[in-house]
Amino acid sequence: MQYPPGCAFLDGAFCAIEDAKISVLDWGFLRSDATYDVVHVWKGRFFRLDRHLDRFFASVDKLRMACPYDRDEVAAILAECVRRADLEDAYVEMIMTRGVSPTFSRDPRDAINRFIAFVIPFGWILRPEERDAGLSVAIAETQRISPLSVDPTVKNYHWLDLVRGMFEAYERGARTVVLPDGAGNITEGPGFNLFVVKDGRVATPDSGVLHGITRLSALDLLAEAGIEAVARPVSLAETRAADELFATSTAGGIMPVTSLDGAKVGDGRPGPITSKLIEAYWAAHTRPDWTVAVKDIPAPRSMA
């Protein structure tokens, strides 16, 4: 089996990406009992690492897990993985699993929580050369798992609803999908948030979604540009009537949506607000308040 180049960290040591494995008895595998976060490195700099660490540790707390490393130690581990992988542009993932119960107990309190990190080359949902064409998206019939059942603000691997929706999209000739809730509103897609633009105003769903860091960055940049942008319920009808749509994700940044359910969004090209935001987002990758150089993060102590 072939693996992408990279580096991993687990059980207190760094290893080659192909050697990073977990037990079949880990609750992360058996029960999808895990949380994770993904931060990216662009041209040797982490983008909004503090925000990703905030969300990761909040998720760990919500799931009643205990990370064996503090924030500075996790940052050091991630940076060391990037250095060992020798990547300038990287996808960097940190994971906490419930772990393994030594007696295979069904009580999650008996499991020994496990921290894992890995780094591979930066990956795209929509590559830069594809931006003019944009994403084709379908609105699925499959509904998003209710936030009363699974908290979407805890980044998780509960993707069966999203995967079912993806197959719906493929069958309808779309590239990806957005799922509705049970009240006639949109939620999110597999790995991305959605924004709606109408009459120069921007909105994104406030419920049933992960509070994405790229979503946050888009809201921050829109505010800096003096463009009204709010998080609130966004109806299916409003989405279909949008002047512009765009998606946000660590894996690609700001991505124009140019087709929805087979119909053009606007004129079928990235709109003016979307285009302005794309430019601002990538320019922000040199901001000293939003980025930190990998080389400036100290190496972890006492780790192989």
Q: What integer pLDDT is reported at residue 269 of this predicted model?
A: 96
* DSSP-derived pairing of the beta strands 244-249 and 112-121: unpaired
Give the residue among 208, 193, 81, 211 at the shortest CA–CA distance from 155: 211
Which tokens hold the place of 268?
């079928």
Determine if the pTM surpasses 0.85.
Answer: yes
pLDDT band at 1 (very low <50, low <70, confident <90, very high): confident
pLDDT at 259 over 90: yes
Q: Kindly state the percentage of the chain with pLDDT values over 90.
A: 98
Is the predicted pLDDT of residue 103 greater than 70, yes or no?
yes
Which residue type is seen at 178?
V
Task: Supply the DSSP string of 131-164, one letter for each residue.
Answer: TTT-EEEEE-SSPPPPTTTS-TTS-----HHHHH
Round the average pLDDT of the chain to a whole number and report it. Answer: 97
Q: Which residues are within 8 A (CB) of 109 and not within 5 positions of it... i.e. 6 or more apart? A: none
DSSP 55: H
Question: How far from 205 is each of 109, 123, 196, 238, CA to CA, in Å?
Answer: 34, 25, 9, 12
Rounded Cα distance, 189 and 192, in Å:
5
Give the pLDDT score at 270.
Answer: 97
Name the percent of the chain lying above pLDDT 70. Answer: 99
Q: Considering only CA atoms, which of 236, 237, 244 is closest in space to residue 196? A: 244
Give, in degrees to the nearest 5, the angle at Cα 271 between 152 and 229. 45
C-alpha torsion sign, points 107, 108, 109, 112? positive
What are the pLDDT digits (tens) for 47-86?
999 999 999 999 999 999 999 999 999 999 999 999 999 9
Average pLDDT for 126-150 = 96
pLDDT of residue 304: 53
Residue 302 pLDDT more than 80?
A: no
pLDDT at 80: 98
- Rounded-to-integer distance, Cα 158 and Cα 144, Å: 10
pLDDT band (50, 70, 90) for residue 301: confident
Q: How does pLDDT run across 6-47, given as a tens digit for each residue?
A: 999 999 999 999 999 999 999 999 999 999 999 999 999 999
Whether the pLDDT of residue 295 is over 60: the answer is yes
Res. 124: pLDDT tops 60 = yes
Indicate the pLDDT class of residue 228, thresholds 50, 70 and 90: very high
pLDDT tens readout for residues 169-225: 999 999 999 999 999 999 999 999 999 999 999 999 999 999 999 999 999 999 999
Answer for the pair 276, 225: CB distance below 8 angstroms, yes or no: yes
Cα 168 to chain centroid, rounded = 22
Residue 126: how many CA atoms within 13 Å on its side-chain side? Answer: 25
Average pLDDT over residues 149-157: 96
Read off the pLDDT of residues 154-167 as tens digits, 9 standing for 90 and up.
999 999 999 999 99
Domains and CATH numbers, the chain: 7-123 (3.30.470.10), 128-286 (3.20.10.10)
* DSSP label at residue 17: G
Q: What span, in angstroms and rounded, lies between the C-alpha atoms of 31 and 158?
A: 10
Give the pLDDT of residue 153.
96
pLDDT surpasses 80 at 229: yes
pLDDT at res. 129: 95
Closest to 186 (Cα-Cα) out of 226, 245, 135 = 245
